[in-house]
Chain A
Amino acid sequence: MMKIGLSVIVLMISWVSFSQSADEIVSKYLETTGGVENWKKVKSQKVAASVNAQGMKIPVEFWSFADGRTYSAFTLQGKTMVQQVFDGEKGYEMNFMTQKMEEIDAESVENLKRNKGDFPSPFIDYKEKGYTVEKLEDATVEGVDCFKIKFTAGKKLSEGKEVDDVTYYYFDKENFVPIVVETTIKMGPMAGKTSQTVMSDYDEVDGLYFPFSIQEKLKEGEGMGQTITFDKIELNVEADKSMFDFSEFEKK
């Protein structure tokens, strides 16, 4: 608590200085949300969440690990199913027609591999990873004055082409937490449109701050999008071995 109080004072002082570099904003974000050293202690994360869709509460579960493994599952009509699982090298996802796991396409797996070092936050040691931050013109989102940061996390593949892996972060000037994240959709019929992730309900877990409500929507036009509410976040949890056992899926 003491730590957070201090960081808030730091951030209050910072209001006086108008020009903030991108690097300072990122540092303040990490500091305000718990401190880099504490973030670095996180080796895994399990999120129990729920999505409200078409009058149904759909429980979902996301696991992610420092070594790049990820696992997600959901429960629909009482049935729990793995949605996607990636062990750092290989990945599978559910085909909803057959309810069988199928191997993720090579390009997506390659992109997952490239994101391996981004847990728990891609901002930690971003320079060492060769990532860059750039401060763009300040912007107002959600009615709030924000710093807008262009974050380039190296390159990713898009339809066979190497492209910059760019995400735009809007940090609330008052408290340095990101409240909106944007990316340009690269593939499919929505290519070129901007997808927006709106974050709120920040709360503390073991001294670190996480958004507990995440709304995904298109930036342009109407529609409320889809909100995921986090019910519980657990840090440094152990995975069950069976979660990453692909032998069942490999049986054709």
Chain B
Amino acid sequence: MKKLLGILGICSLTIASAQDFLSNLSTQELFGSIQARHIGPALMSGRVSDIEGHPTDRNIIYIGTAGGGVWKSEDGGVLFSSIFDKHCQSIGTVKVDPNDPDRVVWVGTGETWTRNSTSVGDGIYKSTDGGANWKKMGLEKSERISNIVINPDNSDEIYVSVLGALWGDSEERGVYKSTDGGQTWEKIFYVNATTGCSDLIVDPNDFKTMYASFWEFRRTAWSFSSGGTNSALYKTTDGGKTWNKIHNGFPEGKLGRIGVGLAPSNSKIIYAVVESEKDEDKGLYRSDDGGANWKHLNNDFALTVRPFYFSRIVVDPKDPEVITKAGLFGAISKDGGKTFKQMGSMHADIHDIWFDIEDPTRTYVATDGGLYRSLNKFVTLERIENLPISQFYHVSMDNQEPYKIYGGLQDNGSWVGPSASPGGIEARNWESVGAGDGFRVFPHPTNPNIVYSEMQGAENVWRYDLKTQQLKVIKPYPEDIDQKLRFNWNAALSTSIHYPDRLYLGSQYLHVSDDMGETWRVISPDLTTNDPAKQNQENSGGLSKDNSGAENHCTIFTIAESPIDRQLLWVGTDDGNIQVSKDAGKTWTDVTPNFSGKLAPKNTWVYHIEADKFNKGTAWAVLDGHTNNDDKPYLIKTTDFGKTWELKVDSTVVGFTRSFEQDNKNPDILFLGTEFGLYVSVNGGDSWGKFENNMPSVAIHYMEMHPQKHDLVMGTHGRGVIIIDDLTPIRNLKEIEAKGNAFSEALTFLPTPTYHMNEKNNFGNTSTETQFVGANPSDNAKIIYFLKKRHTFGKMTMEIKDDQGNLITRMGPGKKKGLNIVEWNYSMNAPKIAKGKTFDFGGFVAPRVKAGKYTVVIKKGKKEYTSHVEVAYPKQSVFTASDRQLQYETVTAMYNMIEDLAYLVYQIDYHLELAKPFESHKKYKKSVLPMVEKLNELKETLVITSGDNYVGAAEPRLREKMSDLFGTIAGYPGRPGKNQLKNLRGLETAHSDAYESYRKILLKEVTRFIDFTSKEFPDKVFDPKKTKEEFLEDK
């Protein structure tokens, strides 16, 4: 053993120099036990983009989501689990291999419902174990994959339709084919760099027959265009070698997005929804001859609404005349498309529909508000309540205890909810504080009843009083009636660090209110480029006009006040400007030329500015180029008020950037949110690592560190609110590093604060098994240490001791390489309980320790490491010191009494055991039996010797009575009740009576027994009775 360890020790890597010790660690080592905590919520859920079932097992359902990854249900949609956390969370399509459906699943990333806020994909993935592990199989630049078709007789033959880039030209579009299970891909059908394949379906009766729709489309930050001469529907009958346009009966002129659906029960019947130039020929077309001829059936609203967002048709698997169409509300036709009826009530914006393979009345619908399930074919629908895929645009926090989190969501309003709640954070803990699409929501900095929220394009900005439920619209109006204020879809609203009643709001100007929105003044000129070419939203949309406000441009997007200087303001715009004012808005300096076109392309969206928390002239700006088809990350830093800038990202950082936060105490600890997750730097941005401890690769739209709790709170666009609790250990590591040479030991303890016990008690939550409940933060004491190497060989133990060196409890130590956090729930060992027939539930109570300083002893191999952990009562408590003293004394007395009783019962059992060998002795009745009878008689009064742990329970005996009272008193940190103390007096009497009875038995019956054995068996040696100390040793 020694030899093995020795050799391994020699071979372990030598540690880098002390200064860059932490920067050289992986994020997993650095953060070790620190895990992200997901609090959802799931009550409003989020956009589901695709549904896929298993071909033979109706209970297996996969969903792809717009920004929350892939989820799998194995019970027909009752419960879902996230199965794609490590990868891109924006999903275009999920496909199960019909040849090996339990194992092989494909995911094409990149949502194809191309709204302004849609994310991007990064290729195609394959799992061969039902979704537990994934491997990227190429098509990295595909951005959006609309469909995957697998040969039902050959898993290696796969066709993939790539819609491709939304924000620019791309040649990675069209239909791709693999004949080697995805190892290599051949582009077999391509139109041009602006036209992608939006749908690909296959004839289930003839795999060589496929239908592919192509769509010419483009989005910019200020416009959207759907349609062109290249949009078309094609058919192949030779497995993709040749493709023919099938437009006989289609409208003339330019076409837009075309959705195609095939009736599985009669594959000659094809449906297509077509976006065209004229309103009268838009809508549903039907072919009864495999696409050779088409007939226009319907141009109802449900069939023509926003084709870029809703273009899926799904036909009932058993009835070719039953068609469903995604849309604002979703519609169903039961007469082959002649007439449609709206689906039942659910969240608006339906993207996909799934029919159960065995029973088509059981159906599933994907919406902007999560997944719905119907047992009566869309008449009534129930929402799945455990999908925390909510898409936050922003988060903020207050200083309440526990603090609350505020934020707005895509198509799901604005909300406030707690960071902790008894039994977990439930749906019912969240309160609605805004309508429409929700964006930036803020609490009033000093009045916790006041909340500000907004909807898209600042169409409404609200001030809401949670207490009086008064709701006032407080948006600013233009000073001149003819003037137009340009607000971003996600308008820049902010409270102030320095003035509690102040609000900022950005249009093209910076607006300020100092009376909570009652009056506004403009404190800047137009800070944008004011490019008229980017302000033509009225004509946006292409073939289907779409002026929702989503394309509003040349607007202020981010506003930052310096925490150091109240006069210093930074503003960033969506068209690439950064402007700074050192005099509270009197004058502005455009610092854009100092970085634009140098560190990032011109007009790159300034997504977030953070005024440095430590240096006045320093600011950090996060630029997002994705709307210019640029997916590179940009974090730029100035230290001279914007005169000069430098880029602070390295090649580790993947994905375009949206959010940033600096640690509250250490200027070198930085957090950067990209479209694909969270990155951390501990050296001021010189190098970065990805944080993956329970953290999905999700887009982080905003993040902020709580000023008191030091939690990093992230608003993710697809996985709700995610929190990394208390980052002080990372700061502490930095402090230790700064001392130099401090990690020379195998184990280094980190300092910990005094931990205040949480003495609140409650009856838990009200959620059912099928509802998502967000995790609570831990309120345990923590023992934190850094291990230079993972402990794998030999023994490692951890004990907590009191100031006298008495053992309080044992715990399992963490053994990771890197940071380990072991939690202690402030409890000591439970008392040793008398042995009975059944369990004594009160005896499972481990009482809490007194406030004070405790010693932590870690033994690792032959070395011993010690540290201390200090615990205190809550800062605010209803209990007085004398209450606590009485409680502590009572609990201690009862603890000892319970163990006394345990020892008494042990002694009784000991004697009874001794008597057993003599049962057949002729003198048994006279010399042994009286002892046995007396002892059993006594024991009967002390512990239960019959019955079970449930309704067959025997009447409680002294043990049960004692520990019941013990559990009750130990469970309440204050003064024991008078009746409880009275009850205790009775138990004490019974306890001493029991010992007295035992003493009498010892004197009489046991003595007679001993006389008998020494006379009859003088050489007999009995097992010695344990002393009380020995008896209690191992508990």
Contact = CB atoms under 8 A, between A and B. Distances in A.
B813 to A, nearest CB: 9
Interface string A64-96: 000000000000111100000000000000001
Contacts of B133: 136-137, 150, 168
Contact of A143 (B28, B38, B1035): B28
B7 A221 contact: no
A204 interface: yes
Contacts of B840: 77
B760 to A, nearest CB: 19
B793 A99 contact: no
Interface stretch (A113-121, A195-203, A233-241): A195-203
A106 interface: no
Contacts of A220: 694
Contacts of B793: 175, 201-203
Contact of B835 (A77, A179, A193, A203): A77
Interface stretch (B40-48, B700-708, B865-873, B948-956): B948-956
B817 A54 contact: no
A163 B60 CA distance: 13
Interface in B7-63: 7-8, 11-12, 26, 28-29, 32, 35, 37-38, 57
B829 A140 contact: no
A166 interface: yes
Given A77-B835, A79-B836, A98-B952, A175 B37 contact: no
A155 to B, nearest CB: 10
B102 A200 contact: no
Interface in A1-39: 1, 4-5, 8-9, 12, 15
A212 to B, nearest CB: 7
Given A55-B846, A203-B793, A215-B812, A150 B129 contact: yes
Given A192-B81, A201-B793, A55 B4 contact: no
Contacts of B830: 54-56
B795 A212 contact: yes
A55 B809 contact: yes
Nearest to B26: A140
A77 B843 contact: yes
A4 B4 contact: yes
Contact of A56 (B1, B32, B129, B1035): B1035
Nearest to B860: A201
Max count, chain B CB within 10 A of own CB: residue among A142, A191, A212: A142
A52 B840 CA distance: 18
A222 interface: yes
B37 A164 contact: no
Contacts of A140: 26, 28
A172 interface: yes
A248 B812 CA distance: 37
Contacts of B81: 191-193
Contacts of A200: 790-792, 796, 815
Max count, chain A CB within 10 A of own CB: residue among B4, B57, B810, B817: B4
Contact of A201 (B72, B791, B950): B791
Nearest to B815: A200
Interface stretch (B434-442, B667-675, B820-828): B820-828
A137 B135 contact: yes
B794 A203 contact: yes
A138 interface: no
A55 B26 CA distance: 35
Contacts of B1034: 57
Given A52-B811, A55-B827, A191-B75, A77 B38 contact: no
Nearest to B27: A140
Nearest to B841: A77
Max count, chain A CB within 10 A of own CB: residue among B769, B792, B827: B792
Interface residues of B, number: 77
Nearest to B770: A189
B282 to A, nearest CB: 42
A181 to B, nearest CB: 13
A112 interface: no
B949 A166 contact: no
A190 to B, nearest CB: 9
A16 to B, nearest CB: 12
A222 B726 CA distance: 14
Given A8-B8, A52-B812, A97-B949, A222 B37 contact: yes
A143 B818 CA distance: 6
B843 A142 contact: no
Contact of B844 (A56, A168, A191): A56
A184 to B, nearest CB: 5
B395 to A, nearest CB: 20
Contacts of B833: 77-78
Nearest to A186: B74
Interface in A147-198: 150, 161, 163-164, 166, 168, 172, 174-175, 177, 179, 184, 186, 189, 191-194, 198
B3 interface: yes
A52 B769 CA distance: 28
Nearest to A51: B812
A8 B226 CA distance: 65
Given A137-B135, A144-B790, A174-B11, A54 B795 contact: no
A191 B386 CA distance: 13
A45 interface: no
B1 A143 contact: no
Interface in B61-109: 72-75, 79-81, 83, 102-103
A169 B881 CA distance: 53
Contacts of B816: 142-144
Interface in B920-953: 948-950, 952
B778 interface: yes
A165 to B, nearest CB: 11
Max count, chain B CB within 10 A of own CB: residue among A12, A163, A202: A202
A204 B72 CA distance: 42
Contact of A97 (B83, B827, B948): B948
A77 B11 contact: no
A99 B838 contact: yes
A221 B844 contact: no
Given A200-B791, A201-B794, A224-B823, A142 B26 contact: no
Contacts of B57: 161
A191 B11 CA distance: 41
A224 B952 contact: no
Contacts of B1035: 56-57
A55 B952 contact: no
Contacts of A15: 11
Contacts of A1: 3
B834 interface: yes
B589 to A, nearest CB: 46
A143 B29 contact: yes
Nearest to A148: B133
Contacts of B371: none
B1021 interface: no
Interface in B780-816: 787, 790-797, 809-812, 815-816
Nearest to B840: A77
A202 B769 CA distance: 39
A7 to B, nearest CB: 9
Interface of B: 1, 3-4, 7-8, 11-12, 26, 28-29, 32, 35, 37-38, 57, 72-75, 79-81, 83, 102-103, 129-130, 132-133, 135, 694, 769, 775, 778, 787, 790-797, 809-812, 815-818, 822-823, 827-830, 832-840, 843-844, 846, 902, 906, 948-950, 952, 1034-1035
The 3 closest A-B pairs by CB, nearest first: A55-B846, A192-B81, A143-B817
Given A55-B828, A99-B949, A142-B815, 13 more contacts: A1-B3, A54-B844, A56-B830, A78-B833, A78-B835, A79-B837, A79-B839, A137-B135, A177-B792, A194-B132, A198-B815, A200-B791, A229-B812
14 contacts: A5-B7, A52-B810, A56-B830, A57-B810, A77-B843, A79-B839, A143-B28, A143-B29, A143-B32, A143-B816, A175-B8, A191-B75, A192-B79, A201-B795
